[in-house]
Structure 1
Amino acid sequence: MAQVDPDFAAYVRGRQAHLLRIAVLMCGDVHQAEDLLQEALVKLARHWSRVGGDRPDAYVRRILYHDNITRWRRTRLETVTEEVPEPRGMQFGPAWEDRADVRAALQELTPKQRAVLVLRFLEDLTQEQTAEVLGVSVGTVKSQTSVALARMRDVLGTEWVEERGARQDATGPDTQRGAGR
């Protein structure tokens, strides 16, 4: 059995819970998220010598996003049901991302919209950083954020979204969060 790089092991121990929360919010199911994260960490381990010291979080987030989209496309073609199954419970504390209404609203979004909101508002990445992680343009991040927040407002109600600081006007979400964000 190959020896595990101690830096890689320390990274996984320190970041696993945070990365799992991101994966859960991206795919909406804790069991799928665990599988998704495990696969992403295996891919990271293969490339640790190249990626390890240079922003491994960004590398893992990109893997999570792309693998989740691939999974979503496969299951969308395979699974056709008359009723939407109840979401499984998450195993985190009482933070906002744990709320059933937020989870349900996130499930109403496309995987790309969900990823944009998770990266922008949970991970607190800038539009440019989000675009880099997802491999899209900043304009795509802006438009996906706008559409996703509008859908969240439809599902949760405008007051719910605005109370939590995810406000957006015609100039985009960054004007509400400070310059350069």
Structure 2
Amino acid sequence: MADREAFDAYVRERWGPLLRTAMLLTGDRHSAEDLVQETLVRAAQHWSRVDPATPDAYVRRILYTRSVDAWRWRRHQPDPVDGVADGPGGHSSPHDDADVRVTLGAALRRLTPRQRAVLVARFYEDRTEVETARVLGCSVSTVKSQTRHALERLCVLAPELAATFGRQESLR
């Protein structure tokens, strides 16, 4: 019963952040909600084995893995319904922020799921390369190369983002 209560408390506390991350990984709210629910079902099945000090690491690993797995088995991705949950800020007008979010969201959706997962973990969640490698179950060198390739691809897909976030050379 204590496991059930701990899991319920975790879900109440972490639903929002998990959903935002899932939206960045999937590109649309409905797929993100499905991904989070699927992730939490899997986590609940083994919750008694989860280290109470680091449940988020366990759940986020499932989230990233399920995101990549779903993409591998799906032939067609649905058209996005909603935009990206949170985008970069600090611009002079709300229209600028919206334009950047839409452009970034469209460019992120065109990356591979693995590249999206690396960028979300590294920059949205502000994880180190080592933490990202641990969460995604890959080597640090894979994180570095995937980050480099993803950023280069973003510069090709949306060169206007390079101007927004700094010079293109600084993204490489």
Q: Structure 1 95/40 Cα, relative in aligned 2: closer, same or farther at 3 Å?
A: same
- Name the residue aligned to 2:9: 10
- Name the residue aligned to 2:164: 160
Deviation track 1:53-75 (CA, whole Å, cap 9, x = no partner) reads 03111111111111111211111
How much has 1:86 moved relative to structure 2? 4.4
8 Å CA contact retained: 1:153, 1:160: no
* SS of equivalent to 2:81: coil
| 1:102 maps onto 2:104 in alignment | yes
- Name the residue aligned to 1:128: 130
Alignment RMSD? 2.5
How much has 1:13 moved relative to structure 2? 0.9
How much has 1:154 moved relative to structure 2? 1.6
Q: TM-score, normalised by structure 1?
A: 0.78
- Size of the alignment, in residue pairs? 159
- Name the residue aligned to 2:95: none
| 1:33 maps onto 2:32 in alignment | yes
- Name the residue aligned to 1:48: 47
| 1:113 maps onto 2:106 in alignment | no
* SS of equivalent to 1:130: helix
Q: Structure 1 52/122 Cα, relative in aligned 2: closer, same or farther at 3 Å?
A: same
What does 1:61-80 correspond to in 2, within 5 Å?
61-76=60-75, 79=76
* SS of equivalent to 1:96: coil
Indicate the percent of aligned positions where both proteins have the same amino acid: 48
Gaps of 5+ in 2: 90-97
Q: Structure 1 34/132 Cα, relative in aligned 2: closer, same or farther at 3 Å?
A: same
Q: Which amino acid aligns with 1:129?
A: E
Deviation track 1:29-73 (CA, whole Å, cap 9, x = no partner) reads 211111111011111112212115031111111111111112111
Report runs of 4+ in structure 1 exceeding 4 Å deviation. Answer: none
Deviation track 1:62-97 (CA, whole Å, cap 9, x = no partner) reads 111111112111112xx3xxxx864211484x6439
How much has 1:168 moved relative to structure 2? 3.6
8 Å CA contact retained: 2:84, 2:105: no
Gaps of 5+ in 1: 170-181
| 1:89 maps onto 2:82 in alignment | yes
How much has 1:17 moved relative to structure 2? 0.5
